[in-house]
Amino acid sequence: MKGRLIRRLTGSLMTGLTYGAAAVAVLPLAAILGMLIVKGAGSVNLDFFVKSAVPLGESGGGFAYAIVGTLIIVGLACLVGLPIGVGTGIYLAEFGGGWFGFTVRFLADILNGTPSVVIGIVVWSLVVKPMGHFSAFAGGCALAIILVPIVARTTEEMVRLVPNSLREAALALGYPRWRTSLFVVVRTARAAIVTGCLVAVARVAGETAPLLFTAFGNQFFSTRILQPMAALPLQIYDYAVGPYDDWHRLAWAGALVLIGLVLVLSLVARLVVGRGARRHA
């Protein structure tokens, strides 16, 4: 009887500890969100989304140019990074058994761990310097380089989860190898791959450091990708360190919108996965 009591006590204690750990993990996130809502929600209004910066001294204005800039730069990054990343992931999972696959996997892991500011500097010297000026294109390249290894590795994991019996079924039906990979394996892992991509995109959307050296930022509304372009993280950074209260207010609002953007992407990812999981249940 006594042993049983101790066992139950230990059980409760351990359960309590895991709850505590979870709470501690969530606490900073909740604090950040709370802070952003308190400080920023007041400034998120229609003006914020449709207006651009106003001249110094005037109050008001918005982040429209930064929001559009972020969408364009992240869009460029996706255009370049997602196909390469997904392709690499499929290669690694389906054919990457040899030394080349090993090398690619190893390099992807290293790239994954490279500080994003380093990638910014690299793109600066490879793209910005030869072109002679900062540009949204360079920003997109920097984000794409961050995107590729994350997408490649998650895609690889997801494709590996497809049961081998499905591959064999397709091969035994007289499917060529490439067709098996593309239409059976990848299609089965589709939902999971999309999720991986969305999560990765959400991550790069908030990157600041690599954009400092590449997209640079812009005080004006611009959609020309070969010119410097504003982006939300950059604008938040600029305004947060600026001397004006109005700027600080906008920076808080910008941060809230950025988090909101990431949140929406993650939610979409969840939704996609949920539907995929039900389909394959």
Partner 1 sequence: MSAAPKPRPAIVPAPPRTRVTPGGTVRVIGTLLATNYSFWYGPNQALHDITVEAKPNAVTALIGPSGCGKSTFLRSINRLQELSPRTRHTGDIAFDGESVFARSVDPVELRRRIGMVFQRPNPFPKSVFDNVAYGPRVTGAARERDLPRIVERALTHAALWDEVKDRLDDLGTSLSGGQQQRLCIARALAHEPEVLLMDEPCSALDPIATQKIEELIVDLKREYTIVLVTHNMQQAARVSDYTGFFFLGRLVEFGTTQQIFTSPRDERTEAYITGRFG
Site residues (vs partner 1, CB under 8 A): 97, 163, 165-166, 168-176, 179, 184, 188, 279-280
Q: What amino acid occupies position 11?
A: G
Q: Give the number of other CB atoms < 10 A from CB of residue 112.
A: 13
Q: Which is nearer to partner 1, 187 or 224 (CB)?
A: 187
**Nearest distance from C-beta of residue 169 to partner 1, angstroms:** 4
Return the number of the residue (68 or 189) whose C-beta is nearest partner 1: 189
Nearer CB in complex with partner 1: 184/232:
184
In degrees to the nearest 10, what's the CA dihedral of 54, 55, 58, 59? 30
Q: Where are the beta strands (DSSP E) in the chain?
A: none
Cβ at position 86, least distance to partner 1 in Å: 19
Which pair of structure tokens corresponds to residue 45? 């209004």
Nearer to partner 1, 46 or 173 (CB): 173
Minimum distance from CB of 165 to partner 1 (Å)? Answer: 4
Which helix or strand (DSSP H or E) is residue 263 part of? helix 245-280
Shortest distance, CB of residue 105 to partner 1, whole angstroms? 17
Of the pair 97, 115, the CB lying nearest partner 1 is at 97
Bridge partners of 229? Answer: 216
Q: How far apart are CA 171 and CA 252, in angstroms?
A: 55
3-state secondary structure of 32: helix
Task: Count Cβ atoms within 10 A of the Cβ of residue 220 and give its class: 0-12 exposed, 13-18 middle, 19 or more buried.
Answer: exposed
Residue 187 Cβ, how far from partner 1 at the closest point, in Å? 8
